[in-house]
């Protein structure tokens, strides 16, 4: 490897680290004050960078906003996928009951806290007012739904279960219940564990309606 290649790799890593710090800072600022009130200056101050660092990574605040929305969705699916893979590696036998519990993992055990719930609510609200952002957000939401649907289908196949509706429809229903339950619980002032417990209970009820033994 040449000195030039080594330098390019180091530069790429620094750039990625800067992007992630900006995204982390933006998540906090957006959730605290909303997208419209969140300024580039506030995000840069929270991350410890200058405006130049921001604009060398993102053309606009909206571009950062969309990337952040995608990251939240990808992280949500990644946590669930890894958990299902762990169960498979451990050789856990999937019964009808354990399959229902695993389906709850698709959304209920993703580790979202109040900050994440506020952030996703802000993303949806802003997308309602901006057609371009709405199209991009819907595309990301469709990707999340397909990922969740594949996890549900895989769990069903492994456990010898049948869905009463197609996997994507089941995923859509579970996402809707998850979003409603987490937002209502957060509005009620419940803490993270209480939010998760309430959400899991509601998802369990939906799973009971969607899944039946073959």
Q: What architecture does CATH give domain 63-213? A: Orthogonal Bundle (1.10)
- Burial (CB count within 10 angstroms: exposed 0-12, middle 13-18, buried 19+), residue 111: exposed
**Domain limits, CATH 1.10.10, in the chain:** 1-58
Flag residues of the chain having pLDDT under 50.
110-111
Pairwise CA distance, residues 56 & 102, whole Å: 42
Q: Is the pTM of this model over 0.75?
A: no
CATH of 1-58 among 1.10.3470, 1.10.287, 1.10.10, 3.30.230: 1.10.10
Q: What is the pLDDT of residue 111?
A: 46
Structure tokens at 127: 């997308």
């Amino acid at each position: 490897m040449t000195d030039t290649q080594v330098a390019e790799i180091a530069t790429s890593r620094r750039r990625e680290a800067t992007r992630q710090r900006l995204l982390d800072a933006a998540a906090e600022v957006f959730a605290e004050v909303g997208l419209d009130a969140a300024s580039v200056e506030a995000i840069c101050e929270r991350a410890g960078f200058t405006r130049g660092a921001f604009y060398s990574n993102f053309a606009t605040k909206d571009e950062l906003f969309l990337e952040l929305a995608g990251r939240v969705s990808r992280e949500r699916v990644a946590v669930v996928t890894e958990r299902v893979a762990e169960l498979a590696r451990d050789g856990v036998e999937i019964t009808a009951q354990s399959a229902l519990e695993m389906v709850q993992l698709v959304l209920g055990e993703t580790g979202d806290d109040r900050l994440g719930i506020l952030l996703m609510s802000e993303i949806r609200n802003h997308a309602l007012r901006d057609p371009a952002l709405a199209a991009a957000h819907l595309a990301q939401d469709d990707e999340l739904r397909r990922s969740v649907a594949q996890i549900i289908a895989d769990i069903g196949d492994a456990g010898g279960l049948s869905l009463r509706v197609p996997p994507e429809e089941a995923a859509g229903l579970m996402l809707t219940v998850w979003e409603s339950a987490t937002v209502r619980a957060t509005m009620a002032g419940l803490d993270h564990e209480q939010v998760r417990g309430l959400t899991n209970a509601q998802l369990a009820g939906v799973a009971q309606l969607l899944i039946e033994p073959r």
